[in-house]
Amino acid sequence: MKQEKHYIQRVLRGDVHAFSYLVDMHKSMVYTLALRMLKNPENAEELAQDVFVKAFQSMEKFKFESKFSTWLYRITYNAAISILRKKHVEMADIDDVQLPENNVVDTFNAITELKNYEQRTYVKQALEQLKDEDALIITLFYLDENSVEEISVITGFTVANVKVKLHRARKRFYDALKLILKDEVKMIL
């Protein structure tokens, strides 16, 4: 983190090449978020590149009030949302999800019976099937271990709203996972 601050300050002083360190440090997560939202590797790569260019152009706006990653993810989220809106992708309400908590536990138990590479494959498939916002919140919270407060800063939702969305996104994730695993789950349960 201290090293990151050092590189940010170098960029702010005009050392353009110091920015490549920041790109290397955050490119995986920015690309993952872009991919989770856009569901297309080419578009995600393009978006992730644009995010870093935009971040460089706006570096003087970064005031160290949040983590650099939080600031970067916010740019990623806004850029992805902007693309999705242009493409008229439906931002559907998720209130219809009512998966019982037991199903979450059953699905989790079922997937842990599988081999590691199978788990990875199915989890990725389930994440790909989630709606962009669900996938983003789940990825930020569980993969990158951002707090609910940080996700609130990134997305602009209130903390309470993030908690509700996270809870529902998780249920949707297990729902998607259960559908993918239906044969395996049936065999195990």
Residues contributing to the site for other proteins (CB under 8 A): 13-14, 16-17, 19-20, 23-24, 27-29, 31-32, 35, 44-45, 48-49, 52-53, 56-57, 101, 104-105, 108, 111-112, 116, 119-120, 123-124, 127, 138-139, 142-143, 145, 170, 173
Least CB distance from residue 3 to other proteins, whole Å?
17
Smallest separation, CB 50 to other proteins (Å): 9
Q: CB nearer to other proteins: give 20 or 82.
A: 20
Provide, rounded to whole angstroms, the least separation between the CB of residue 90 and other proteins.
Answer: 24
Nearer to other proteins, 17 or 86 (CB): 17
Phi, psi (degrees; rounded to nearest 5) at 137: -65, -45
Nearer to other proteins, 90 or 106 (CB): 106
SS3 sequence, 122-189?
HHHHHHHHCCHHHHHHHHHHHHCCCCHHHHHHHHCCCHHHHHHHHHHHHHHHHHHHHHHCHHHHHHHC
Residue 39 has which token pair?
């569901």
Instruction: Please give the Cα distance from 164 to 156 (Å, whole number).
Output: 14
| CA proximity to 29, closest of 122, 141, 129, 161 | 141
Closer CB to other proteins, 42 or 90, in the complex: 42
Minimum CB separation of residue 83 from other proteins in Å reads 17
Please, what is the minimum distance in Å from the beta carbon of residue 23 to other proteins?
A: 5
If the CB atoms of residues 16 and 90 are measured against other proteins, the closer one turns out to be: 16
CA distance 36 to 32: 6
Q: Give the angle 102-107-110 at the CA atoms, nearest 5°.
A: 125
